[in-house]
């Protein structure tokens, strides 16, 4: 009797299919509400509100315009994309609709937990108060969760309130986040251009949040480099780094493949500081030349607390599934790798420990185990006729 083996190696065989990636339970920590609208919704809201400055009135053409503008290499055009989305997010009804659709879209893509960030100060042009903005978005997320459940999907969404680093309302927004911390808001963030706007300008906000035992992340190390990361951690005390991709600048890889970590990189790894990495977005901003060259590959090998995120789904034409697909293509990642990223993200979420643990043990690990079992049974079926007399 002789036995035959399959041509593909076990590791290659376990590379997930696109459909498996979509069904895999995913966790998203870095996604901007105003960067993820459906193009059709933008067209609808613009028409309802009398906003006449959209570059395209057809939803498909508008979606293409957003992606091309974000890919243009022009900062002016990139920022213009957010001017259009924010322009139609100035009423309670619009905010609720956008938030509900965000939750639905993520759930449809297999995301089981998401933290979605937005800047309340950017939605006051038609007279809303900061509190009304937060309550409208929270209502939208709850509505989206309900609709997702009706469609056979499960998702939990928490809000991160963002302050703009070039403005002077960080403490006010931090206090707002603290007031709503048990009502759907899970933490605080600052965003905006890093160069010329160091996080230390907002130390009063971060000191306040620490006194209140609240959570916050800081956009750092996306474009400005190591000083931004250092300040975010050592001066401000950030729990997570938004992007953090430039930590690679403190890692040296020798010709023989040996790796040397600098003091800051060692600290980030040793302290298990989560990196909210956004591969597609990083390609658009020039932080990486290609998916294969993205630092996430090395950071994964070195066991940094790396997570995978979308940043701006509309502008990048992406989703969590697409981000994982790109990484699978670039690095040959298996379901084990995708589970590693997902567990990393869930460990790093801003909800209580017992709830994070339950999500990992009762949702994420069982979900990936089921997908891995599919591979095992496919292997069994393919070898069932391989034994001959």
Render pLDDT for 291-308 as a digit per residue (tens, 0 to 9). Answer: 999 999 999 999 999 999
Asked if 71 and 146 sit in the same domain, the reply is no
Asked if 114 and 62 sit in the same domain, the reply is no
Q: What is the pLDDT of residue 7?
A: 40
Asked if 350 and 215 sit in the same domain, the reply is yes
Q: What is the mean pLDDT of the chain?
A: 92
Q: Choose one of 88, 107, 126: the last residue of a domain.
A: 88
> How many percent of the chain have pLDDT more than 90?
83
Q: Domain count of the chain? A: 2
**Sequence ranges of the binding site for substrate:** 32, 34, 192
Per-residue model confidence as pLDDT tens digits over 318-343: 999 999 999 999 999 999 999 999 99
pLDDT at 55 over 80: yes
**Backbone torsions φ then ψ of 246, nearest 5 degrees:** -75, 0
Give me the mean pLDDT over the 9-22 stretch.
78
Of 7-21, 132-146, 193-207, 307-321, the range with the lowest mean pLDDT is: 7-21
Asked if 303 and 347 sit in the same domain, the reply is yes
Asked if 338 and 260 sit in the same domain, the reply is yes
Asked if 80 and 107 sit in the same domain, the reply is no
**Sequence ranges of the binding site for Zn(2+):** 30, 32, 219, 311
* Entry pTM: 0.93
Query: Among residues 104, 145, 175, 222, which one is catalytic?
Result: 222
Q: What is the pLDDT of residue 56?
A: 97
Closest CA to 346 of 369, 326, 362, 333: 362
Range of the domain at 68: 42-88
Q: What is the secondary structure of 260-312 as a DSSP string?
A: EE-HHHHHHHHTT--EEE-HHHHHHHTS-SSTTT-THHHHHHTT--EEE--B-
Closest CA to 22 of 308, 321, 307, 343: 321
Asked if 164 and 66 sit in the same domain, the reply is no
- On the CB side of 245, CA atoms within 13 Å amount to 24
Asked if 286 and 160 sit in the same domain, the reply is yes
Token pair of 87 as six digits: 């322009």
Domain membership of residue 10 (yes or no) is: no
Give me the mean pLDDT over the 261-287 stretch.
95
What whole-number distance in Å separates Cα of residue 80 and Cα of residue 66? 9
Residue 276 among the catalytic residues? no
């Amino acid at each position: 009797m002789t036995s035959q083996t399959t041509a593909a190696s076990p590791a290659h065989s376990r590379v997930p299919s696109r459909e498996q990636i979509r069904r895999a339970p995913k966790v998203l920590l870095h996604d901007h509400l105003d960067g993820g609208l459906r193009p059709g919704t933008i067209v609808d809201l613009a028409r309802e509100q009398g906003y006449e400055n959209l570059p395209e009135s057809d939803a498909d053409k508008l979606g293409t315009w957003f992606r091309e503008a974000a890919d243009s290499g022009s900062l002016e055009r990139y920022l213009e994309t957010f001017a259009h989305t924010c322009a139609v997010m100035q009423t309670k009804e619009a905010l609720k609709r956008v938030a509900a659709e965000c939750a639905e879209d993520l759930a449809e893509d297999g995301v089981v937990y998401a933290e979605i960030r937005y800047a309340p100060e950017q939605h006051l042009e038609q007279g809303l108060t900061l509190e009304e903005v937060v309550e409208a978005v929270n209502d939208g997320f709850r509505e989206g969760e309900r609709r997702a459940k009706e469609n056979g999907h499960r998702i939990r969404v928490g809000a991160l309130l963002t302050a703009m680093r070039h403005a002077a309302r960080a403490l006010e927004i931090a206090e707002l986040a603290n007031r709503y911390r048990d009502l759907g808001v899970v933490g605080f963030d600052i965003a905006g251009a890093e160069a010329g706007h160091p996080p230390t300008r907002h130390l009063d906000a971060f000191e306040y949040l620490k006194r209140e035992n609240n959570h916050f992340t800081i956009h750092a190390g996306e474009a400005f480099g190591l000083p931004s990361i250092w300040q975010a951690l050592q001066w401000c005390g950030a729990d997570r780094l938004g992007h953090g991709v430039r930590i690679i600048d403190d890692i040296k890889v020798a010709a023989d493949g040996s790796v040397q970590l600098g003091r800051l990189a060692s600290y980030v790894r040793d302290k298990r500081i989560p990196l909210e990495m956004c591969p597609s977005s990083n390609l658009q901003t020039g932080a990486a030349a290609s998916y294969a060259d993205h630092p996430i590959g090395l950071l994964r090998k070195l066991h940094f607390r790396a997570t995978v995120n979308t940043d701006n789904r509309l502008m990048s034409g992406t989703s969590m599934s697409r981000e994982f697909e790109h990484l699978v293509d670039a690095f040959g990642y298996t379901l084990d790798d995708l589970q590693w990223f997902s567990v990393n993200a869930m460990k790093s979420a801003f909800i209580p420990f017992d709830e994070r643990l339950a999500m990992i043990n009762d949702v994420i690990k069982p979900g990936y185990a089921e997908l891995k079992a599919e591979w095992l049974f496919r292997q069994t079926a393919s070898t069932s006729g391989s034994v001959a007399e």
